[in-house]
């Protein structure tokens, strides 16, 4: 990994631009017949440690082509591309591809970066439309990023760009350029989900949503046209504000199904937020014995799901609990008492299948990169025979770790337990500014931890990267991703606290609509992955 130390070998400046056509297929990658060209020397192995990688060109507006070079230490082979210099520099390593049929193409690469650059990104330009970019995040482990464009002119230039301060570095390896049909694990059933639990309250309090041109439209129609095919709704038992209860879920389910979308129902088994730090019983259940509590889980789950079925909006997937790393319905169902927790989970799962045997049951944990904890948890669940179909995780890059940690965990869980996996929650900020008086959760320190810039493009790139991880889970066991609360914009009366109508929203800078209510580029990612 390039750090602040000098290069591993002396750098010889090389100038000039060379455009080479690709002549072969990437090893192990199937490229559709209409893709007449692909990347030459994708792993930088043909360069043998020379200055400029064979098949690639380097340019610099400041005459610093030598800041791009090949050195030892590849991700999968002996060499990698690096950008580094002892003074501030600008450099691009690029390759032009020709003979391309019109259509959608994706550039993917594995990257590492020490951060600090003015800009560091993958680029697709000269393809017939506007240049498309994907930022390279700050990460010490190899992480895959991608960018997609529409080719209309038969040619496209793939670039790796650094505008950097002295000592800033990136490493790049294993580059791919493929038709969108060449994505790993292609599936028309990939979940492109959105959690819209606050949408009804937003609309009732005056919230509006607009397309990119500024035209006001129905929010669900905008999400659907952007590519969303699955919607998630949380269920509280008796919330103070009357939202996210049985009646509201039934209303929203009708709208969701009318858009041709599938439905995930997320049972919190609480009157308010349930997550790893709090799993409070509904007030009406506080005095229950454990057997009564177990029966209440069954009856509440059955009641909501059977009502959905009766109105023709049967749930397609159900979460029995929300982020239940430390159990649910405390103290009875904490993970320190797995016998109780298993009984509660089994009651909920049994109720789901009693309503509709084909509805999938998800068990959902937070901290999507925490493999040791998740192994322990699911070992406990499976050893006690808890029935479930899908493993769900929350993974916010700024809280839960790198893309690599998510990839490793999902791969292991899918293999170890023989079940498909889904990222049930993720999100990222498009700005550090606020749109109301409530401090935002996503701030400058979390942006630094997340590794992507707090910009509309950074938000889109972060979401695309999470999709790439899920699509890379072996044996097609990566089901998809849900974006958490894309419509939770800053609308007075639609704040965090259901007990306090004056509370603000700390999430509006992670919505997929900007402060003028217009759809952001992140929404279009749902239709492009």
**Two tokens at 320?**
């029995």
Q: What angle do CA 497, 502, 503 make, to 5 degrees?
A: 40
Catalytic residue among 323, 367, 485, 508: 323
- 500 burial class (0-12, 13-18, 19+ CB within 10 angstroms)? exposed
DSSP one-letter code for 65 = G
The phi, psi pair for 509, rounded to 5°, reads: -85, 5
- E strand or H helix at 222: helix 219-226
- E strand or H helix at 173: strand 169-179
Helix (H, G, I), strand (E, B) or coil at 176: strand
What's the length of the chain? 529
408: nearest Cα among 342, 474, 332, 326: 474
Q: C-alpha 288: how far from its chain's center?
A: 39
- E strand or H helix at 225: helix 219-226
Cα distance between the two ends of the chain: 30
The phi, psi pair for 85, rounded to 5°, reads: -160, 155
In DSSP notation, 433-480 reads --SSSSPPSS-HHHHHHH-S-SSHHHHHHHHHHHHHHHHTSGGGTEEE
- Say if CB 62 and CB 23 are below 8 A apart: no
DSSP one-letter code for 508 = G
58 catalytic, yes or no? no
In DSSP notation, 75-126 reads SSSSEEEEEE-SS-EEEEEEEEE-SBPSEEEEEEEEEEE----SEEEEEEES
DSSP one-letter code for 510 = G
- Say if CB 257 and CB 215 are below 8 A apart: no
425 catalytic, yes or no? yes
- Say if CB 388 and CB 381 are below 8 A apart: yes
Q: Which residues, in sequence order, are CB contacts of 141 under 8 Å at separation 6+?
A: 112, 402, 404, 405
**Two tokens at 131?**
């240049």
Q: C-alpha 51: how far from its chain's center?
A: 36
The phi, psi pair for 149, rounded to 5°, reads: -145, 165
Catalytic residue among 58, 425, 485, 508: 425
Report the catalytic residues.
323, 425
């Amino acid at each position: 990994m390039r750090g602040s130390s000098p290069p591993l070998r002396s750098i010889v400046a090389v100038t000039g631009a060379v455009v080479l056509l690709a002549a072969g297929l990437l090893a192990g990658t199937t490229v559709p017949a209409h893709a007449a060209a692909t990347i030459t020397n994708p792993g930088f192995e043909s360069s043998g440690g020379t200055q400029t990688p064979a098949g690639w060109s380097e340019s610099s507006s400041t005459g610093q082509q030598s800041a791009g070079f090949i050195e030892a230490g590849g991700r999968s082979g002996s060499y990698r591309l690096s950008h580094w210099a002892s003074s501030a520099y600008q450099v691009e390593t690029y390759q032009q591809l020709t003979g391309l049929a019109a259509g959608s193409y994706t550039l993917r690469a594995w990257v590492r970066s020490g951060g600090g650059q003015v800009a560091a990104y993958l680029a697709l330009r000269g393809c017939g439309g506007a240049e498309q970019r994907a930022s390279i995040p700050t990460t010490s482990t190899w992480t895959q990023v991608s960018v997609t464009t529409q080719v209309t002119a038969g040619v496209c230039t793939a670039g790796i760009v650094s505008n950097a301060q002295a000592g800033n570095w990136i490493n790049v390896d294993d580059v791919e350029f493929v038709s969108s049909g060449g994505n790993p694990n292609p599936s028309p059933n990939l979940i492109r989900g959105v959690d819209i639990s606050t949408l009804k309250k937003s609309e009732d309090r005056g919230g509006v949503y607009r397309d990119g041109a500024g035209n006001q439209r129905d929010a669900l129609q905008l999400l659907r046209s952007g590519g969303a095919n699955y919607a998630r709704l949380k269920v509280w038992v008796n919330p103070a504000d009357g939202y996210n209860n049985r009646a509201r879920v039934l209303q929203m389910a009708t709208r969701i199904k009318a858009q041709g979308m599938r439905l995930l129902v997320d049972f919190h088994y609480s009157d308010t937020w349930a997550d790893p730090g709090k799993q409070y019983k509904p007030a009406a259940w506080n005095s229950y014995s454990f057997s009564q509590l177990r029966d209440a889980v069954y009856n509440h789950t059955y009641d909501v799901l059977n009502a959905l079925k009766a109105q023709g909006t049967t749930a397609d997937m159900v979460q029995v609990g929300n982020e239940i790393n430390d159990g649910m319905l405390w103290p009875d169902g904490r993970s320190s008492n797995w016998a109780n927790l298993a009984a509660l989970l089994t009651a909920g799962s049994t109720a789901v299948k009693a309503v509709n045997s084909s509805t999938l049951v998800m068990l959902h944990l937070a901290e999507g990169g925490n493999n040791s904890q998740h192994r322990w948890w699911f070992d406990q669940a499976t050893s006690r025979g808890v029935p479930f179909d899908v493993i769900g995780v929350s993974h916010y890059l700024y809280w839960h770790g790198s893309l690599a940690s998510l990839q490793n965990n999902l791969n292991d869980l899918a293999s170890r337990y023989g079940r498909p996996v889904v990222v049930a929650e993720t999100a990222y900020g498009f700005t550090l500014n606020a749109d109301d008086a409530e401090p935002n959760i996503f701030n400058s320190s979390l942006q630094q931890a997340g590794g992507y810039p707090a910009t509309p493009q950074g938000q889109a790139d972060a979401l695309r990267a999470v999709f790439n991880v899920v699509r890379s889970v072996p044996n097609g066991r990566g089901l998809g991703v849900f974006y958490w609360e894309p419509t939770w914009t800053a609308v007075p009366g639609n704040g965090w606290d259901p007990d306090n109508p004056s509370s603000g929203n700390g999430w509006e800078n992670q919505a997929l609509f900007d402060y003028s209510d217009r759809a952001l580029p992140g929404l279009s990612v749902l239709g492009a992955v």
